[in-house]
Structure 1
Amino acid sequence: MNNEWSEQFPATQFRVARPTHQLEKIIEFYNKGLGLEIVGSFTNHDGYDGVMFGMPSVHYHLEFTQHTNATPILPPSEDNLLVFYIPVLALRNGIVSRLASMGYYEVEPENPYWKRNGITICDPDGWRIVLQNTNGLSKD
């Protein structure tokens, strides 16, 4: 089986890496709140601690790193998003409820498209995620 994306770009794994200044809150949000699996972590590697989240058997990961002398990281614009597609509405709503019980509530998306079938929530650093229900998604 070929795990490469294409002959033009023969990558076998994709990771989005982002700094944070509050790694423990990020771990709580993405692991306990969203339910993403921790697929790796490291401590004091050249002055950095980090954690990688992923979905089982998939080579797409989110990595968060924190330097020993971490300073607050400013969030990007309100239209920079991580979008998670969740086909079962009840399961998506369960995640939204779990995050709300942890103090993370829905925010108004900048782009109204994401309000059609999605819920937008800010993570501890102010970065936005969208929990998009794929059941009934329109093609526009």
Structure 2
Amino acid sequence: MIDSTMPIRLARPSRDLAAAERFYVDGLGLEVLWRSAKRVSGEHDLLMVGPAGGAWHFELTRDPEHPLEPTPTVDDLFVVYLGAPVDQELVDRLVAAGGTRVPAHNPYWDEYGVTVADPDGYRLVLCVRRWGG
């Protein structure tokens, strides 16, 4: 049975791990939890980011020998429920860190937040609502 304390890893490919790190660490404020330290033939380069002490993290991968092109759709979302108005300074930091502010595909997210595409085109939604889970 799955419960709320089980660790979760969300993995996705990235064309540029340094750009992804700037966006998620410098822009969003997550921490680098782990990264591959050297290139090993046959292995993926990895960057893991997440909140310090959190039960989840992103694993961003790149296989230099057989790179995958990220294929995000307009509905591939990473939603952060802020429970407060979106701070324009946060949006500005995300854009300065390589993000692009975009309109949401679903108007719900424009009504209740701000959508910023990361350097690979995946969408981060900063939602003003509180998760009622």
Structure 1 residues 48, 119: CA separation in 2 closer, same or farther (over 3 Å shift)?
A: same
Q: Secondary structure at the match of 2:12?
A: strand
Q: What does the per-residue CA deviation read over 1:82-127, in whole Å, with 9 as the maximum and x for residues that have no partner?
A: 001123326x322101123345332111100001121111111111
In structure 2, stretches of 5+ residues that fail to align are: none
Identity over aligned pairs, percent: 32
RMSD of equivalent CA atoms:
2.3
Match of 2:120 in 1: 125
Give the one of 4, 7, 28 matched to 1:13: 7
Q: Secondary structure at the match of 2:25?
A: helix
How far apart are the structure 2 equivalents of 1:127 and 1:82? 8
Matched, 1:113 2:114: no
Q: 1:37 deviation in Å?
A: 0.9
Structure 1 residues 74, 68: CA separation in 2 closer, same or farther (over 3 Å shift)?
A: closer
Q: What does the per-residue CA deviation read over 1:13-69, in whole Å, with 9 as the maximum and x for residues that have no partner?
A: 100011112111111111111111111111335421111111122111111011122
Match of 1:81 in 2: 77
Match of 2:25 in 1: 31
How far apart are the structure 1 equivalents of 2:14 and 2:100? 20
Which gives a bigger RCO, structure 1 or 2 (Cα 8 Å, sep 6+)?
2
Q: TM-score, length-normalised on structure 1?
A: 0.80
Q: TM-score, length-normalised on structure 2?
A: 0.83
1:21–1:70 contact (8 Å) kept in structure 2: no
Match of 1:64 in 2: 60
2:30–2:51 contact (8 Å) kept in structure 1: yes
Matched positions, count: 129
